[in-house]
Structure 1
C-alpha cells in the first residue's frame, strides 16, 4: 500500500468485522525519536493461537471469498523495510492489538496519507462501535472520541454526510497544527 493510512483502514475494517464495540487507534510521529508508531486495539472476537501464528502469511485468510490475505503481510513487509517491526497480540473473546513502528526518516517509509479521510471512512463503516483516535507528535496530542462527539451533538450516529465532512476537516486541521514539518 502506498500510504500508511491504508494499512490503518484495512486493520480497522477487520476490527469492525470482528464485532468490536471499541476501536482505539493511536499514532505517534516523533522526529526526536525518529519513529512512527501505530497501535490499533479492539475488543472484537480476537484470534485463536493457531490463526495468530498464520496471520502474516499472505496465503492465509479466514475469508471464504478468496485464498489470500495480504493486509497484515504487506504491513509487516513495510515495517521491516523501514527498520521497524509488526507485533500482534490477540485472544479469543477479548480482542486484538496490532502494534507497528517505522524508522521515521527511512527513505522507504510510505507517507502517512490523509488521516481525515481514513478516520471518516472508518466512522462511516461503524454501526455499534466507538472510536478513540489519538495522534501525537513532538508538539502535542490530538484526540477524537466518537462517543464524546455523539454526546455533544446529542445523536446516536455520526453517519450524516455533513458531520462526516466536519470530522474529516477537524482531524486534518488538528494534525496540521501538530505537524513537525
Structure 2
C-alpha cells in the first residue's frame, strides 16, 4: 500500500468485523529515536492463539467472501522491510492489539497518508463504535475521542456532514500543530 493510513483502515475494518465497540488508533512519531509506531487496540471478539499464529499468513482469513487475507501480512512485511517490528496479541472475548514499528527515516517507509480522511471513513461507517485517535510527535500529542464528541453533540448524529467536516478539520489542524 502506498500509505500507512490504508493499512490502518484495513486493520480497523477487521476490528469492526470482530464486533469491537471501542477502537484505539495510536500513531507515535518519535523523531529522537527515529521510530514510527502504529498501534491499533480493540475490544472485539479476539482470537485464539492458533488464530493469531495463522493470521500473519496471507493464506488465512476468517471471512467467507475470499480465500486470502493480505491486510495483516502486508502490514507486518511493510514494518519489517523498514528495519522495524510487528506484534499481535489477542484474547478470545477481550480483543486484539496490533503494533507495527518502523524506522521513521527509512527510505522505503511509505508516508503516513491522510489520517483525517481515514478517520472520517471509519467514524461514518458505524456511529455506535467509539474511536480514539492519538497522534504523538515527540513531546506533543493530539487526541480525538468520538465518545466525547457524541456527548457534546447530544441528539445531533456524529455522521452528519457538518460534524464530519468539523472532525476532519480538527484532525488536520491537530496534526499540523504537532509540527510546530
Calculate the TM-score normalised by the size of structure 2. Answer: 0.96
3-state SS of 1:38 partner: strand
Shift of 1:58: 0.6
Shift of residue 158 of structure 1? 0.9
- Secondary structure of the 1:2 match is coil
Alpha-carbon distance in structure 2 between the residues aligned to 1:26 and 1:126:
20
Whole-Å separation in 2 of the counterparts to 1:58 and 1:112: 23
Contact preservation (8 Å) 2:58, 2:73: yes
Are 2:127 and 2:158, in contact at CA under 8 Å, matched by a contact in 1? Answer: no
Counterparts of 2:129 and 2:17, CA distance in 1 = 11
What do residues 5-40 of structure 1 show as CA deviations (whole Å, max 9, x unaligned)? 011111111111111111111110121110100111
Find runs of 4+ consecutive structure 1 residues off by over 6 angstroms. Answer: none
Q: Give the 3-state SS of the residue equivalent to 1:79 in structure 2.
A: helix
Query: Where does 1:151-162 land on structure 2 (aligned, <5 Å)?
Result: 151-155=151-155, 157-162=157-162
Please state whether the residue corresponding to 1:164 is helix, strand or coil: helix
How far, CA to CA, are the matches of 2:7 and 2:153 in structure 1? 30
Q: Which ranges in structure 1 are unaligned for 5 or more consecutive residues?
A: none
Alignment partners' CA distance in 2, 1:127 and 1:89: 26
- Which consecutive unaligned segments of at least 5 residues does structure 2 have? none
Residue 35 (structure 2) aligns with: 35
For residues 103 and 71 of structure 1, the distance between their equivalents in structure 2, rounded to whole angstroms, comes to 20
Equivalences for residues 102-117 of structure 1 within 5 A: 102-117=102-117
Q: CA RMSD in A?
A: 1.2
1:42 to partner: Cα distance: 0.4
Distance (Å, rounded) in 2 between the aligned partners of 1:38 and 1:60: 23
Query: What's the TM-score once normalised by structure 1's chain length?
Result: 0.96
Q: Counterparts of 1:54 and 1:127 in 2: how far apart (Å)?
A: 31
